[in-house]
């Protein structure tokens, strides 16, 4: 498994997944994985095959010095959201209904991609 970790500015193969949830993106089943330092990565299930190299697509960098603890997907008023609890920034609420529209993060960055809200603050997309 390889991902691009924007806050580290490089591709990584040993980064630990801290939490993940299954989610359909554009109708296809995916795993949404949150890594230490909080990159959010989408991994299409069809790419997971024995002995194959898999590259996940980083769609959000949610800040370094942070550890995701858990994620849940829920629906409210016809829209899907992800709640991510983490060690440094409380609970983040991210829109989950258009995750296919965020481009891959492939450059060094601290916070970028899928926007989020958290208690007392929000961040708009900077894709």
Residue 120 has pLDDT above 70, yes or no: no
The domain ranges of the chain are: 3-102
Query: Which pLDDT does position 127 carry in this prediction?
Result: 45
Cα angle at 103 between 98 and 106, to 5 degrees? 145
Q: How confident is the model at residue 37 (pLDDT cuts 50, 70, 90)?
A: confident
Query: Which pLDDT does position 8 carry in this prediction?
Result: 87
Chain segment 74-99, per-residue pLDDT in tens: 999 999 999 999 998 889 999 999 99
CA dihedral 106, 111, 117, 119 (to 10 degrees): 150
DSSP state of 89: T
Distance (Å, whole) CA 78 – CA 97 = 10
Cβ–Cβ < 8 Å for 45, 31: yes
By residue count, the chain amounts to: 127
Distance (Å, whole) CA 105 – CA 112 = 8
Interval 99-127 mean pLDDT: 81
Distance (Å, whole) CA 9 – CA 70 = 25
Q: How confident is the model at residue 14 (pLDDT cuts 50, 70, 90)?
A: confident
* pTM score of the predicted model: 0.89
Interval 89-115 mean pLDDT: 92
Q: How confident is the model at residue 113 (pLDDT cuts 50, 70, 90)?
A: very high
Residue 126 has pLDDT above 60, yes or no: no
- Judge residue 79's burial from the number of C-beta atoms within 10 Å of its C-beta, 0-12 exposed, 13-18 middle, 19 or more buried: exposed
């Amino acid at each position: 498994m390889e991902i691009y970790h924007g806050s580290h500015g490089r591709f990584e193969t040993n980064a630990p997944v801290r939490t993940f949830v299954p989610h359909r993106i554009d109708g296809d089943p995916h795993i949404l994985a949150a890594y230490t330092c909080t990159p959010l990565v989408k991994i299409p299930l069809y790419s997971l095959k024995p002995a194959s190299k898999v590259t996940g697509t980083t769609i959000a960098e949610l800040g370094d010095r942070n550890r995701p603890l858990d994620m849940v997907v829920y629906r409210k008023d016809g829209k899907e959201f992800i709640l991510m609890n983490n060690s440094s920034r409380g609970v983040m609420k991210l829109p989950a209904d258009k995750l296919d529209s965020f481009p891959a993060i492939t450059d060094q960055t601290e916070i970028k991609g899928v926007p989020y809200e958290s208690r007392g603050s929000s961040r708009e997309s900077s894709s």
